[in-house]
Structure 1
Amino acid sequence: MKVDHKHFDELGEREDSPLEWKMKDPGHCRLRYTAQESDIADFDGRSSLLYRFNQKLMSTLKDVISLKFKSIQGDGVLFHGEGQRGDHITLELQKGRLALHLNLVDSKPRFTNSPPLATLGSLLDDQHWHSVLIERVGKQVNFTVDKYTQHFRTKGEADALDIDYEGNVTFSCSEPQIVPITFVNSSSSYLLLPGTPQIDGLSVGFQFRTWNKDGLLLSTELSEGSGTLLLSLEGGTLRLLIQKTTERTAEILTGSNLNDGLWHSVSINARRNRITLTLDNDAASPTQDTTRIQIYSGNSYYFGGCPDNLTASQCLNPIKAFQGCMRLIFIDNQPKDLISVQQGSLGNFSDLHIDLCSIKDRCLPNYCEHGGSCSQSWTTFYCNCSDTGYIGTTCHHSLYERSCEVYRHQGNTAGFFYIDPDGSGPLGPLQVYCNVTEDKIWTSVQHNNTELTRVRGASPEKPYSMALDYGGSMEQLEAVIDNSEHCEQEVAYHCRRSRLLNTPGKAHPCLYLSA
């Protein structure tokens, strides 16, 4: 991780160099200084780095924090700073995305479970360098991750950030020799690795990530006639099937939504008639009776798919091949060197990218318009336009007409309709009442209080006020008005012994305002 932090206060710009560095477990945290580059620190998930400012308490109106990081872990704190008055700032990875917490409100508790003010990025646990820039001026904040920027405004009345210290805590950023592989083709990609045949029992483990709901993860023919093993993703659920000929011996279903693009850990263990499938540290066993099952490790393990020249008994591929990434493959408790596979000295493969996970987030940026939700497969993305009022590949085309006049041309008379005054623009549809007469077409926008409201007692010191909800934003109402030839607003006032605009020579105690 490379870090740079600048403070701005009433005295101007000042770049802080720490007065004191403290390192916990320095054997696992390395700090390197170079003349041309920023400081680089490596963390293993247990080490931390703490530095204190030259002043005991820093109160800043403007901050600029920039850093670069890379990680194989999807969760962890990059840095955290806090003050005695409750102010704090935290940047952390959450499932491969960066979340920024910032509190300038002294009265709030120091630690809360409140959601982050901003979340950016995706798949940031890809072992590549990513740039982060946080710029704050008072309540205005620009949060940038790589080339994407999100602007937001902090809550509360305070403009200054009061912190005592800032440090890096429990973040994994070391350089382990982990080699990922990518299964590129859904019909021809596979990885063949040797096992240790005739061993009593079986042990296979690996990690995978994908956007596809279905795909073959692992297939092997077990030794000593103990059957075949098939591990696959089906509808985002992990399915393990061990069978002899046509007889289903054992089946385990576990997990859901495993096509979320995150890394998932899988291990299969079979020992002494006990079969266990562990997914992300949660173990599951078959519901069938396995007391008579005896499993021996296979000779060849096919990951991700099967070669075309093998028979069905040699490699099972009942569903389409896997498209995604794998890493940390173990067979019979032995790690497999994928670089040796690349060099041709171990196993065999086809249509693989070795030492690279080429997963892409096709929903970042989100091309789905008007609030449509984005989902994706390995090769494309989809927009769910339900309940948006729009249709099309990216929810671009409005379901509704732009005015009541269009509805009249379609043969409609009077009734409630949705109109979209800016068509496929950013404004959403608005419900109106279309009243079609012989010579004019009236568009009425209803509000939430059409009944008479009794007002008892009002004075210049305590005037009566009422807020009306027209079911749309001010921008939507302005668009309807701009598309109209004439606009009017009606207010009915029923009074008894009231001085509303009819008392000569005296100040009017009532004022009617309309936007």
Structure 2
Amino acid sequence: MFMIPFIQLFSCFIFLNAIIIINGLTTADIYSPCKRQPALGFEIGTIPDTAFSASSFVEGREPFRARLNDRFAWRPAFMESDQYLSINLGARYYVTGVATQGRRAAREYVTRYNIMYSDNGHNWFQYTNEDKIIVNFVGNRNDNGIVRNNFSDPFIARYIRFNPRQWNNFISMRVEVYGCPFTASSFTFDGQTIAYYDATFIPLHNQQDELRLRFKTNYPTGVLFYAKGTQNNDYLTVELRDGSIFVGLDLGSTPERPGATVIQAGSVLDDYQWHDLAITRYWKNISVKIDQTVIYEESQSAFNSLDLDGRDDSLNMHSYTFKTFNAYLEIFRKPGASSIDVSFQMRTFEPNGILFYTNLSEPRYYMVGINDVPDQDFLRLFLDEGQLACTVQINGNKRTVRHRRINLHDGQWHEISLLLTQFRFNITVDYEPEFSNTQNNLSTTDLFTFSSNGGQIYRETSMNGFVGCLRQVIMSGIQILPRDIATNLTAVRANDNRPRTGAVINHGVLIDACEMFDRCTPNPCRHGGMCHQTWTRFHCDCSGTGYSGAVCHVSDMPLSCLDYKLNRMKVDEIIPERRTMIDIDGSGPLAPFPVICRYGSKTESLNLTEIGHYHELESYVPSGYQLPNLLYSQAINYLVPLLQLFSLIDRSYVCKQYIEYTCFNSRLLNYPNSPFGWWVGRTNQTMDYWGGSEIGTGKCSCGLDMTCANPNLFCNCDSQFTTELKDAGYLTRKEYLPVLRVEFGDTGPVGSPQYARYQVGRLNCEGDLLYDNTVTFRKADAIITVPPFEAKIAGDMRFQFKTGFNSATFGSAILVQNVGYDNGDLIEIRLQSPREIAFRYSVGRGTNIVTIRAPYDFNDNDWHTVHIEINRQEARLTVDDLSAANPEDQTTFRHIQLTSNLTIGASVTNRNGFVGCIRAFQVNGQLIDLKSQALRGMYGISPDCTGKCQSNPCLNGGRCNERWSTYDCDCTFTPFRGPICSTEIGTRLEANTMIKYIFPTQGVTATEEETIRVMFTTYKKQGILMQLKSDRIDEKGLIDYFTLELNNNGGVRVKFNYGFDTFEYNVPYDLTNGQNHEIIVTRRNQGKLIVISVDNYEPYIDVFPQTQQIDMQFDSPRFMYIGRNETTPPEEGFTGCISRLQFNRIFPLKYAFLEERDPSITWTGSSIREWPCGTEPVKYLPEPVEIPPDRGFSILALPRPMYKQYVYERNLALILGSMGFLFIFLLVGIGICYQKSNKSGHYKTKEDKGADQAIDADAAIIRGDSRHPDLTEAKEWIL
């Protein structure tokens, strides 16, 4: 028996970041089955209450009550198949079985459940059988009985999870787990470490072998175990390739019967979870077991035993690394040889380079112009685009021979040999010769070089030297060993001062090592991209993957049908239906899949995604399927993998799927009795309702609207009529879709006339919730934080933003920032200016910037897409259709390491913030749910894209410019001004005042539609409110005009003549009452419709007949008069206040009161000034002040033993502080009294209190004492 104790392990564990467990002297100690299989202590309380957790629970039925034989039981809050009960066992155990109970005396128990297990509580494995099918364990049949299930393949885990699948009444569980502790020694391998055992002195010859180990890694490729003998080249290898285990075994091969056997097992084993591997062999029978999957194979060898007898020390595998194009070895041999015999092994990633070179003659010279140019015979062995070639020039005749093998730069070792004699020319690659006969007068010189030409060649010097590794270098049967190599010519000089024969001189070659870096392992190319590399760089071939970019990380497909419509469909493009591929998670792991996008007509707002399957046609259920004996079952297989399909459903607004059942005396739901037909959805539950109905009803659509064939039943087909009936409708609960299986069982015995047909339609989903995940940043210091950005091999971030941000006012705005506090790493996306976005990043080598400058503004309040990607090749920024990148140095690249949270909306210090909307935020293809955080209530952030302009704050037709944190109103095309366009621009006119506005000559030439608006207040029934005149005289000698004036009744007269007839209308209301009145006159429909509105009165509407003789055009309006015109007497002009003056987009009063008055407007008579005409501008209440959180404040939790001391010290500080304050207050009071005393002095007068207000002493006495009578002083009069 071949056992694997660690002290005897002769293994080459070349495994990146792997941990291999090898424990004990025998395999039985590693995976020793528990002899007693005791309970782990749920019932007796060894496992504490805190170890129990669950997806949900109801009060009084907490997870810790799920102990076997407990008084109560665990019960979730929701009766759904995704509920679970998890237990932390506290350590790793070898778990052999479980037991379950229901809730006592309640008829609540679980009848079917799954088991999951984990080592860390985060990554869970389903317990499966040998075919990797999830095992549904049989549960309880009553509420108090104990049902135990032992595992046919025990597992090792620290966490275990129970997932109820079917239950009676309610989910209730009490559980126990059985097994024994698992202990093991762990060893960590960094990709270079090797643990080995030399079997030279203790050879192993076994007919029965067993190897068991556990491992975990996050790298898809590596060697776990390697053992090889030297007799018949027996070997046993275990390696991981692309996440699968490959076991290679050869019990001995002969030319007639090769014995190599390769077995592949498992997949996705590079998930950094523990996996159990067991390999057993008995003679030629081999089994490989990975977790619960077992593969059996029989060896093809002619032998039965595995012979491992150590290594052959006679073979020297000395390697030499040529790290640069200029590194080479010089070898000195005796000149004059008539043949060249060279062999070596070579590996490289460079497609071109000189492998071996020597001159075959002394230099000759010939004339080129006036210069002597040397020429020389030579031999050069080189790689040309990965193909081996040899060029020989003898006596000036050049000849090149190429070997048929290609791609020799694949990084693998290749055997190369060259033999050149006077009659034969032979080059061999991996034992495949390429030879030819020749006639050569060959004579060698004394110098040979490996890689480069060592300065010997005089022609074709553009070819670089070889970069890679050589080993087993043999010339003329003599192997070059490291001890023969010198570093300078002085060390190898002979007595005649020439290099001695056999000397080797090193020029920059690394001796006795092959130092190559495989940049393609692990594969840096994502999504199946092919990696190709040179010595210093790699590149990815993304052909056929559906992805692009430097490492095939960016999807070429739209994220959804809605994404295609929003971001890829042209504005005027109308595509009712499009078959396309979508990639639901972008750069994530899910592959693209085909869909049908339906957009409808141009007038429809339709965004449907349609997914087909292989069973869309109506299918027949013949007789012979009758429950409970036989059930017809059909799985519905979709054109899309289920994982992608589930993701599409979850991201859609709504989904629906048509389902139909046509019957002839064949029942369906049979409610309230047991059903004869049902469908199964994504939750793997049998659904008790049909299309057009609702879950839990047990009805078809006719049962809801009471239109069934039998009014006492709930489905047409349950009527058992001998006529063909149908139940059909749409299933709309997307959490249960799609339909994965249909099952029917009421078509009677074989030969019965009963039958049924069914049809399952395509899945239809509408919309994409990705673009509904929108938030608004109202404050420049508001942020949302999410976990840090990660980019191990490659990482990307994608989102859309909308803003009216003004960089001139607020400076630049940071959209996203993430920093590494310890190492200075950084990623930042910043809106630097209205037309410039910058991606700043640092990976420990200083800050780099990728900038995009667009020919349009980004702050135009329209959506713009930002996409950044950082990988080993480059850092790229894409904004809309613009893209820029910085190349990365692959020799110094390291993964970005960010420790702060990913901060969205501002910097990590809440500075340089962004105001606007952000939506569809994805990191590495995963949606970051920003909206849910905003819904919880955050400072300065609102869900959805809701700006300040949404409430229409700008009045009187002002245009609102959205700034998101605020807004501003553009009143340019209104007769108002002010922050919200509510301030009237008017003036008071006297009777002699005339305002005249002259239209610019390049302005209005002719109009057929006008808007004329005036507001006025007056008491006098006279004057012109507005008059427009043309400067053109028609053939009748008339000019076009329009007049708005007050008539003698106090109303307003509207009068105009545009060349065909005079129109006049008088408003029948007296408006000269000192109140404000507004009149609006509009012409529309090419002048044929006129509407006159006065205040809130019913408007006057007139329609002019359409004839060719009617001229509806106001030709060349040139002058506008207000108050009066040149022919109006000065005393008959308008007296009052006038405002809101407008003719189309001309506002004369606004021009009159500009800081620099428009010279086109003048006035005569009394001067004018701006006047509000008795109106007050509207003002809004100030918005509530949002107080930012105290981001720098933290509460320190003190240790409990220090609590009393802390309280004592706090109270003492309060007492001393209060006493100090009182003492200071007392001192201040004493000082104030002292100052008053000094000012008043020590002498006190006895003057009466009334003296200060008396004119003499007598009055002072009377005023100062109320007891004195009120006597008037006697006066003497002299007459």
Calculate the TM-score normalised by the size of structure 1.
0.71
When residues 259 and 375 of structure 1 are mapped into structure 2, their CA distance, relative to the original with a 3 A threshold, is same
Corresponding residue to 2:611 among 431, 445, 454: 445
C-alpha separation between the residues in 2 aligned to 1:470 and 1:352? 59
Matches for 1:286-365 after TM superposition, within 5 Å = 286=436, 290=438, 292-307=439-454, 309-312=455-458, 317-344=461-488, 345=492, 346-365=503-522
* Aligned mate of 1:391, from 548, 558, 581: 548
Q: Could you say which residue in structure 2 is the equivalent of 1:229? A: 379
Contact kept? 1:181, 1:356, Cα under 8 Å:
yes
From 643, 657, 662, the equivalent of 1:489 is 657
Change (3 A) 1:506 1:50: same
SS of 1:478's partner is helix
Q: 1:194 aligns with which of 332, 351, 359?
A: 332
Q: Which amino acid aligns with 1:261?
A: G
- Supply the AA of the counterpart residue of 1:453: S
1:205-254 per-position Cα deviation (integer Å, ceiling 9, x unaligned):
22211111211111111258993211111122111222236523462424
Aligned counterparts, 1:172-251, within 5 A: 172=311, 174=313, 176-186=315-325, 188-223=326-361, 227-244=377-394, 246-249=396-399, 251=401
In the alignment, which of 15, 19, 27 is matched to residue 7 of structure 1? 27
Separation (CA, whole Å) in 1 of partners of 2:196 and 2:475: 39
Contact 1:404/1:434 (8 A) holds in 2: yes
Could you tell me how far apart the structure 1 residues matched to 2:266 and 2:410 are?
A: 21
Give 2:597's aligned residue.
434
Distance 1:173 1:118, change over 3 A: farther
SS at 1:339 equivalent:
helix
Deviations 1:161-182 (A, max 9, x none): xxxx996536647485443111
Partner of residue 198, structure 2? 41
Partners of 2:340 and 2:421 within 8 A in 1: yes
2:485 partner letter: V
CA 1:376 to 1:175, structure 2 compared with 1: closer, same or farther past 3 Å?
farther
Q: Which amino acid aligns with 1:181?
A: Y
The Cα of 1:474 is off from its aligned counterpart by: 1.8
Trace 1:400-415 onto structure 2 (pairs within 5 A).
400-409=557-566, 410-411=569-570, 412-415=575-578
CA distance in 2, matches of 1:155, 1:258: 37
- SS, match of residue 407 in structure 1: helix
Give the conservation status (yes or no) of the 8 Å contact 2:419–2:425. yes
Aligned-pair CA distance for 1:424: 1.0
Amino acid at match of 1:265: E
* AA in 2 matched with 1:508: P
CA distance in structure 1 between the partners assigned to 2:667 and 2:240 by the alignment? 64
Q: How many Å apart are 1:193 and its aligned residue?
A: 0.9
Offset of 1:508 from its aligned partner? 3.1
Contact kept, 8 Å, 1:209 with 1:261, in 2: the verdict is: yes
Q: Distance in 1 between matches of 2:639 and 2:337?
A: 70
User: Following the alignment from structure 2 to structure 1, what is the Cα–Cα distance between the partners of residues 209 and 445?
Assistant: 63
Matched, 1:258 2:401: no
- Residue 487 of structure 1 aligns to a residue whose secondary structure is strand
Counterpart code for 1:179: H
Q: Which has the larger radius of gyration?
A: 2
Selected match of 2:676 from 506, 509, 514: 509
- Contact 1:210 1:259 survives alignment (8 Å): yes
Amino acid at match of 1:408: K
Q: Would you say the 8 A contact 1:48–1:168 is kept in 2?
A: no
Q: C-alpha separation between the residues in 2 aligned to 1:378 and 1:424?
A: 28
Structure 2 Cα separation of the partners of residues 230 and 356 of structure 1: 25
Cα contact 1:78–1:171 (8 A) shared by 2: no
Q: Secondary structure at the match of 1:490?
A: strand
Residue aligned with 2:648, SS = helix
1:97-108 to 2 correspondences below 5 Å: 99-100=246-247
8 Å CA contact 1:192, 1:300 repeated in 2:
yes
Between the aligned partners of 2:431 and 2:317, the Cα distance in structure 1 is: 20
User: In the alignment, which residue of structure 1 is the partner of 2:666?
Assistant: 498
Q: How many residues align?
A: 427
SS of 1:306's equivalent in the other structure is: coil
Q: 1:119 to 1:166 in 2, by over 3 A?
A: farther
**Matches of 2:477 and 2:507 in 1, distance apart?**
25
CA distance in 1, matches of 2:621, 2:650: 34
Does structure 1 residue 50 correspond to structure 2 residue 204? yes
Once the two structures are TM-superposed, the CA of residue 275 in structure 1 deviates from its matched residue by 1.9
Q: Which runs of 5+ in 2 are unaligned?
A: 1-7, 11-21, 36-92, 94-193, 216-222, 250-258, 269-273, 280-289, 297-303, 364-375, 493-502, 683-1279
Q: Which amino acid aligns with 1:476?
A: Q
2:344 and 2:417 in contact (8 A); partners too: yes
Q: Evaluate the alpha carbon distance shift between residue 329 and residue 475 of structure 1 in structure 2; reply closer, same or farther with a 3 A threshold.
A: same
* 1:422 maps onto 2:585 in alignment: yes
Q: Is the 8 A contact 1:252 1:285 kept in 2?
A: no
Equivalent in the alignment of 1:377 = 534
Return the offset for 1:263. Answer: 1.7
Judging changes above 3 Å, is the alpha-carbon distance between structure 1 residues 50 and 468 closer, same or farther for their aligned structure 2 residues?
same
1:353 maps to a residue whose letter is L
Cα distance in 2, alignment partners of residues 382 and 235 from structure 1: 16
Aligned twin of 2:420? 270
In the other structure, the counterpart of 2:265 is: 117
In percent, how many aligned pairs have the same letter?
25
Task: Using the TM superposition, give the Cα deviation of residue 393 of structure 1 relative to its aligned residue in structure 2, in angstroms.
Answer: 1.1
Structure 1 residues 490 and 440 mapped into 2: Cα distance closer, same or farther (>3 Å)?
same
State the Cα distance separating 1:67 from its structure 2 match: 8.4
- Amino acid paired to 1:320: N
The separation in 1 between residues aligned to 2:199 and 2:210, in whole angstroms, is 29
> Could you list the per-position Cα deviations for residues 174-202 of structure 1 after superposition, in whole angstroms to 9, with x for gaps in the alignment?
4854431111112x122211122112222
In structure 2, distance between residues paired with 1:369 and 1:175: 44
Cα distance in structure 2, aligned partners of 1:436 and 1:67: 54
Answer whether contact 1:195 1:331 (CA < 8 A) is retained. no
SS at match of 2:27: strand
Partner amino acid, structure 2, of 1:429? P
Displacement of 1:483 in angstroms is 0.8
Structure 1 equivalent of residue 431 of structure 2: 281
Give structure 1 stretches of 5+ with no counterpart. 14-36, 80-89, 103-110, 121-133, 140-150, 158-164
Deviations, residues 89-117 of structure 1 (Å, cap 9, x unaligned):
x64899xx994259xxxxxxxx8845433
Aligned counterparts of 2:557 and 2:434: Cα–Cα separation in 1: 50
Instruction: Determine if contact 2:321/2:514 at 8 Å carries over to the other structure.
Output: yes
Residue identity in the other structure for 1:293? N
TM-score for both structures, normalised by structure 2? 0.30
| Cross-structure match for 1:20 | none
Distance in 1, Cα, partners of 2:546 & 2:590? 11
After superposition, the Cα gap between the structure-2 partners of 1:416 and 1:208, relative to the gap in structure 1 and judged at 3 Å, is: same
What do residues 448-496 of structure 1 show as CA deviations (whole Å, max 9, x unaligned)? 2222222212222332222222222221111101111111221122333
Point out the structure with the larger helix share. Answer: 2
